[in-house]
Amino acid sequence: MNNKIILGIFSLAVLLVTSCSDKFLEDVKSYDKYDESIFTNETETGWYIDRMYFDAFSGYKRPDWTVIGLFNDDRSRSTEEFGGTVKNWTNPNMTLTNASDCPTYYGTSLPASAGNTPYTRIRYYNFLIEKIKEKGQSLSKTFRDRARGQMLFLRAWQYYDLLRTYGGVPIVTSVQTASTTDDVADLPRASSTEVVARITADLDTAFALLPDKWGASDYGRFTRGAALAMKSRVLLTFASPLFNKDWDNSNNQRWQDALNAAKAAVTQLTTDGYGLYGSTSKEWANMFLVDNSFCKEAIIVQLCSPNTTSAVNNGWESAIRLSSQKGSGGVAAPKEMIDLFPMANGSRPTVANGYDDTKFFLNRDPRFYRTFAFSGCKWANKSSSTATVWAYRYLKTDNKTYVYPDGNQITSPAFVKKMSSPTADDSSYGYSGTDIFEYRYAELILNLAECYAATGDLTNCLEQLKLIRKRVGIQAGTLGDYGITKGTGAFADKYAAVEACLYERRVELAYEGKRFWDAQRWLLFDGVSYVSTSVNTCAKLGIAPINGTCRTGNYWQAKTNTNSDPIPAATKSTIVIDPDASDFNTQLNSLATVFDTYLKRVPTDKAMDLVNGAAVNINFRNNYYIFGLPSGLLSNNPWLIQTKGWNDIYGTTGTYDYQP
C-alpha cells in the first residue's frame, strides 16, 4: 500500500486508504483502550503505519507550508519571500508576551477521543514501538524492524518541530495512562539538550532499522539515509545561535557533531544512489517534476495525486498561476527577492557588478529564470505549450482608472514560477499531482558547507558551495570560485563563509519552506537572543536584520496615459522568453527594448505590508524566536514552567531557559 511520505498514489490506493483509516479508528477507541491484536498481522499493522503517515503529513500540500501535523504558511509569510500578509509575529503594532498569545500547536488537554495533536501522535508512535515487540512475534523481523524504524523517525521529527516551536518539552517514550489523580505522568519540561539527545537517539535507531531504499510500491517511506539527513538538520539547528551560546567558538562540540552528522549522511546517501540531480538549470527545474518515482535528489518527498477525491493534491500550482492562466492570481515576488539572486557569473547583484534593478531580468543566475517568471515569459500548461504571460497596466486619460490588459493585477514585475509543471491542467490546477520535495540533497550539501564554515574549514566550505553552483551551469570564472567569494577567491574568515552559506540557501532553497528556520536559528530578525547576551549575529555576519524592512512591490505601467493597450499585439506576439532557447539572451534584450519603449516601473498604490491599511515595517520581537507555552496547556499542567520572555497564566514572567 502506498500512502506514506508521504501518502502515495491515491488514485491507486483510495479504497484502501479509506478502509485502513476506518479500521484504525475502530481499533483505537480512546486514549486508554486499544485492540492490540492489530499487531499480529502485517496487513493491519500496515494500516496503522499508513495512518500515522497520514495524520502527520496529509496537510502538507504546498512546499512553503511547514511544521509536522500543522502545515501552514505562518512562518514562510514572516520572511522576505512573501509580501502582502503581515502575521501577528511580524506586526510592529503588536507585542506578544502572554501565554494566551502563544501558538496552541502543542495541543490541549486529553479529549475523550483521539485528536491529531503532537502528543497524540507521539502516543500512537510509542504504542506501536512497544506493542509490536510483544504482539508481533509472528511477523517477520524485517517487517517489525521497519515498522519500528518508521515510528521512531516520526517521533523524532515530531519532537524536532516541538523543539523549534517551544524549546524543551516533556519527553514521553512510553504509552501512559491518562489520569487526573496519578502524578506519574506529570513530566517536567526537559532541557533542549535532552530533547535533542532523544531525537538523535531515535534517528540513530531508525537508521539501523530502515532500508536504504524501498520497493517501487513503497517509494516515499523513510529510509536510513533520510534518518541521517534529518539528524544533520537537527544538529545544525542545535549548533546554531538560537540554542548555542557558544556558537562563535569554532571548536564547539555541537558544530563538530553537526559536521560529523552531515558527512555521515552524505556518505550514506551517495552510497545509496542519491546526489545532486542534473548538471544544468533546465535539469534543476525538471527535478521538481519527477513524480511518484525515485529522484536522486529527493531525500524526503510528499507524494501527491491529481485524484479529485480522497487524495493529497499539491496546492502550489493553483496558488502561483496568474489569473490570465486560470490560476489563483500568482505569488508576487517582493523586490527584495528579485534583487537577491546573483548575476550570471555568480557575483552579487550590485550596481558595481552591472546590476540594473529596472531591467532586473538581464544577466542573472540561471536559477532566477527557473524561480521567477515576468512579462513576456513562456509559461506553458496543458492547453498551450507556448503560452506567455504579461503583467502590466495603464492609466486611462481620466487619470483615475487603471486597466490591466491581461487581467493580472499582481503587485510585482516578477512572480514565482518555481516547481510549476509545464503540463499542468489549466482546468484543474487545484488537483495538481506534482510531488513536493521536503528535503533535498542540495540542502544536505548546504548543511555540510555551513558546518565547515562554522568550524573554520573555509576551503571545504567553498568546495561544497561550488557544487551547488556548478550544477546549475554557473561558470567557475577566473578565480575558480563561481562568484561565491565576492571577487576575492577565498573567504576572509568564517563569518564571511557562514554568510555565503546562508545567502546560497536563500537562492537555492527559495520558496521551499526553509527560509524562516534559517532566520530563526541565526536570529536574523534582530541578531539577538532573548535569553542570551551573546554578540549580535547579524553584525557578526555582516547581514542586515530583517526587522525594520518591508516587502516592496512594483508595477510595470505605461509611460503615458492611454485608453488602449500601450503595447501593440504584434509586438507582444514576437516576445517569448524561453530560457531553453538558443537565443535566450537576444530574447531578453528584445524585452528590454519593449519595456524601454512603452513602460516604466512604479511603486504599488499600496505597500505590500499593510496593517489596517497603513504601511508597516517588519518587527519580529526576539522573544518570538522560541514561543512560550499556551494558556490551556499551563492551566491543565500547572507543574510546567513558562519560557523566559513570556508570562504564565498568572502574569508571572517565565523562568525556563531554552538555551542550556
Same domain as 327, residue 214: no
Same domain as 194, residue 335: no
Domain membership of residue 391 (yes or no) is: yes
Block residue for cell numbers 531554552: 658
Cell of 241: 545561535
Domain membership of residue 514 (yes or no) is: no
Integer-rounded Cα radius of gyration of the chain: 25
CB 362 within 8 A of CB 502: no
CA–CA distance, 431 with 418 (Å, rounded to integer): 18
Domain membership of residue 180 (yes or no) is: yes
Block residue for cell numbers 564571511: 496
CA–CA distance, 281 with 376 (Å, rounded to integer): 20
User: What number of CA atoms fall less than 13 Å from residue 576's CA on the CB side?
Assistant: 14
**Of how many residues is the chain composed?**
660
Q: From 143, 179, 172, select the one nearest 49 (Cα to Cα).
A: 143
Cell of 164: 523549534
Query: Strand, helix or coil at 646?
Result: coil
Same domain as 337, residue 207: no
Domain membership of residue 573 (yes or no) is: yes
Tens digits of per-residue pLDDT, 292-311? 999 999 999 999 999 998 88
Domain membership of residue 5 (yes or no) is: yes
Domain membership of residue 313 (yes or no) is: no
- Name, in order, each residue with C-beta under 8 angstroms of 300's C-beta and a sequence gap of 6 or more: 5, 222, 226, 229, 230, 437, 438, 439
Helix (H) or strand (E) holding 388: strand 388-389
Burial of 445 (0-12, 13-18, 19+ CB in 10 A): buried
Q: From 557, 287, 299, select the one nearest 409 (Cα to Cα).
A: 557
Cell of 327: 490560476
The single-letter DSSP state of residue 433 is: -
User: What's CA 114's distance to the chain center, in Å?
Assistant: 28
Q: What is the pLDDT of residue 109?
A: 61
Q: From 210, 141, 127, 132, select the one nearest 175 (Cα to Cα).
A: 127
Same domain as 331, residue 184: no
Q: What is the pLDDT of residue 307?
A: 94
Q: Which residues of the chain have pLDDT under 70?
A: 1-34, 108-114, 178-182, 184
Q: Among 191, 220, 249, identify where a domain stops.
A: 220
Q: Among 564, 587, 603, identify where a domain stops.
A: 603
Which letter, b or e, does each residue of 527-540 get, where b requires 16 or more Cβ atoms within 10 Å of its Cβ? bbbbbbebeebbeb
The enclosing domain of 175 has a CATH number of 1.25.40.390
Cell of 44: 493491519
Q: What is the pLDDT of residue 34?
A: 61
Q: What is the pLDDT of residue 3?
A: 33
CA–CA distance, 603 with 335 (Å, rounded to integer): 10
Q: Among 205, 220, 235, identify where a domain stops.
A: 220
Domain membership of residue 368 (yes or no) is: yes
Helix-strand-coil percent breakdown of the chain, rounded to 5? 40, 10, 50
CB 637 within 8 A of CB 628: no
Cell of 63: 512546499
CB 470 within 8 A of CB 514: no
CB 346 within 8 A of CB 484: yes
Same domain as 152, residue 12: yes
DSSP string, 546-615: STT-----EEEEESS--SS-SS-HHHHHT--B-TTSTTHHHHHHHHHHHHHHHEEEEE-SS-SSEETTEE
CA–CA distance, 302 with 520 (Å, rounded to integer): 24
Q: What is the pLDDT of residue 12?
A: 24
Domain that residue 342 falls in: 322-419+554-603
Q: What is the pLDDT of residue 534?
A: 74
Cell of 14: 483510495
CA–CA distance, 533 with 527 (Å, rounded to integer): 11
Domain membership of residue 165 (yes or no) is: yes
The single-letter DSSP state of residue 471 is: H
CA–CA distance, 368 with 337 (Å, rounded to integer): 10
C-beta neighbour count of 58 within 10 angstroms: 19
Cis previous bond, 484, omega within 30: no
Q: What is the pLDDT of residue 77?
A: 96
The single-letter DSSP state of residue 94 is: -
CB 16 within 8 A of CB 9: no
User: What number of CA atoms fall less than 13 Å from residue 617's CA on the CB side?
Assistant: 7
Q: From 302, 301, 307, 252, select the one nearest 432 (Cα to Cα).
A: 307
Tens digits of per-residue pLDDT, 500-510? 999 999 999 99
Instruction: Count how many domains the chain has.
Output: 2
Same domain as 179, residue 30: yes
Tens digits of per-residue pLDDT, 125-173? 999 999 999 999 999 999 999 999 999 999 999 999 999 999 999 999 9
Helix (H) or strand (E) holding 382: none
Q: From 618, 445, 660, 622, select the one nearest 537 (Cα to Cα).
A: 622
Same domain as 333, residue 216: no
